[in-house]
Chains A and B, each alone.
Chain A
Amino acid sequence: MVYDPAKPQPQDKLSVSQADLLENFGQLNTQFGVNHVPFDDTSGDKGKHKFVTFVEQSTDPESKGDEHLLYTKDDSGEPEIFARPESNGDAYQITKDGNLFVGLLPIVAVNFDKTAPFIQGSSLGVSSITQPGSAGRYKINFTAAVTTALSGSNDYFWSISGFDNSSNPVIAQVTNDSTYGNVVTDSFIQVDFKNQNNTLVSNLTRATVVCWRFQ
């Protein structure tokens, strides 16, 4: 059964048109109801979307003035959501590999203090924190290895910050080392919190580390 927009015709008999009309109304309700609350719903939500199924488009659809389009297109074998601004503007990608596409993807975020097991609250991408050596030095161990096709596996970006109970500055940084791969790897990052005398601080009240990688 299929919706037939050419029915009924002027010469059709009423007995024929009845079946055509019945079928068309049924098809309208069914097809509209695939993504929407259907026409014959009684909940008060009729006409709203249940969800939106984007069928992959082979090319970027045209946009007119005062329009902004949302659609899917293939990206490396996966349909991903794209948007196109008005007047056939430049299309841009919204999703990639299960995440929103913003260019930089957070991979690690953790809040911790000086007391084992260190981690405070919820974290992202961190399995544990260990203390290699003195207090004030922490190794943030990742849940999964960082991988990216656009850069080396340890060429990610980081932010480190913390404070203690002293009246001195707390200088937060990646542990000094002549070999980058010793302290910034695809499975951990090692960070130090020091005062101005280059001494590790032992009374860290709280610190936070966030890392991002290319998408």
Chain B
Amino acid sequence: MVFKANIPQPTDIISQSQLDISSNYQAAYEIYGKPNTENENIGDHVALNDSNEDDRGAHKKLTLNEQSSDPSTLVNEMGLYSKETNGKSEIYYRQESDGDVSQITDNGGISVGGLVLRAYVAFDFQGKIIEVERLDSEGDKIKVPVSYNVTNVTPNQALVQGKNIKADWNINFTDNLPTDDYFWVLQSFNDPLFSILSNKVVQAQPYNSATYSDTVTTSHFRAVGINIGTSSQTITPAAPVLGRLQRIIFQAYTVI
């Protein structure tokens, strides 16, 4: 169905115009927005004859066709659009009066100030990812892992009686990070009973190695718990820790 913007012409006969007009109404209806029962990606809007009158004129979704350059904005306007960046369509916005252009998405992530959070996780000593309770769409309680783009956290040391007893973990990413030169945040807190009994301070840190890729790769990050001795006491071995860290948090960022 083709929409004809230049009909009817003065020279058209009514039998011809009737067909053109009818065809235009049908084309406009289909292009504007098909009913929700049709999943075809034609039309971003609620159908013109949608049974719910209140929904007419509203959007179902937003398909942003890639633009070759940044569109102009007038005063008191803001523009949202997509543009090709490194071979992918990414979402941008432009401030009023042809103002600054900012990239919102990058390679599957959201950019805030030029930094993209690629992965995060909170886990316990066993490598179990912490879960929180949420309500699903039907109001039932469900467990949701406190993680993003992390498949699991696996121990690097042999288990003892089925338990991880050494603080040495691989944080495994679901999708590889775009570079291994990413920035990480790694923090932990200690079991107070363990500290009182042992008089030791423990911290989580990247696994020590002269070879960067022993610790940081695009597919995983190796973290360990390590003992911090006093000036008169060096604990050997310093890592991995035998004992507990209650909670470890990790984040990975890249720049766009």
Contacts and interface: CB of A to CB of B under 8 A. Distances in A.
B71 A51 contact: yes
Contacts of B239: 167, 169
Interface string A52-84: 111110000000100100001010001111000
A122 B227 CA distance: 32
Contacts of B27: 39
A211 to B, nearest CB: 10
Contacts of A38: 3, 5
B183 A111 contact: yes
A100 B111 contact: yes
A28 interface: yes
Contact of A78 (B4, B71, B95): B95
Given A51-B67, A110-B183, A161-B186, A22 B114 contact: no
Interface stretch (B142-150, B151-159, B200-208): B200-208
Interface in A165-189: 165-172
A30 B6 CA distance: 11
Contacts, number: 232
B73 to A, nearest CB: 7
Interface residues of A, number: 78
Contact of B181 (A45, A55, A121, A125): A121
A210 B185 contact: yes
A193 to B, nearest CB: 10
Contacts of B6: 22, 25-26
Contacts of A124: 113-115, 255
Interface in B1-48: 2-10, 12, 14, 17, 21, 24, 27-28, 30-33, 41-45
A196 B112 contact: no
B100 interface: yes
A171 B203 contact: yes
Nearest to B43: A47
B193 interface: no
A57 B153 CA distance: 47
A81 B63 CA distance: 18
A53 B4 contact: no
Contacts of B228: 169, 171, 196
A210 B253 contact: yes
22 contacts: A39-B24, A40-B3, A47-B31, A51-B67, A51-B81, A54-B79, A54-B80, A81-B93, A98-B95, A98-B102, A99-B112, A105-B112, A107-B113, A124-B113, A159-B185, A162-B206, A165-B209, A168-B208, A169-B227, A206-B206, A206-B216, A208-B184
Given A78-B96, A98-B95, 20 more contacts: A21-B7, A21-B8, A22-B9, A26-B6, A48-B41, A50-B71, A52-B62, A52-B81, A56-B76, A98-B102, A100-B113, A106-B115, A109-B115, A109-B253, A121-B179, A122-B179, A162-B205, A162-B206, A168-B234, A196-B234
Interface of A: 14-15, 18-19, 21-22, 25-26, 28-30, 32, 36-40, 42, 45-56, 64, 67, 72, 74, 78-81, 95, 98-100, 102, 105-107, 109-111, 113, 120-125, 159, 161-172, 196-198, 203, 205-206, 208-210
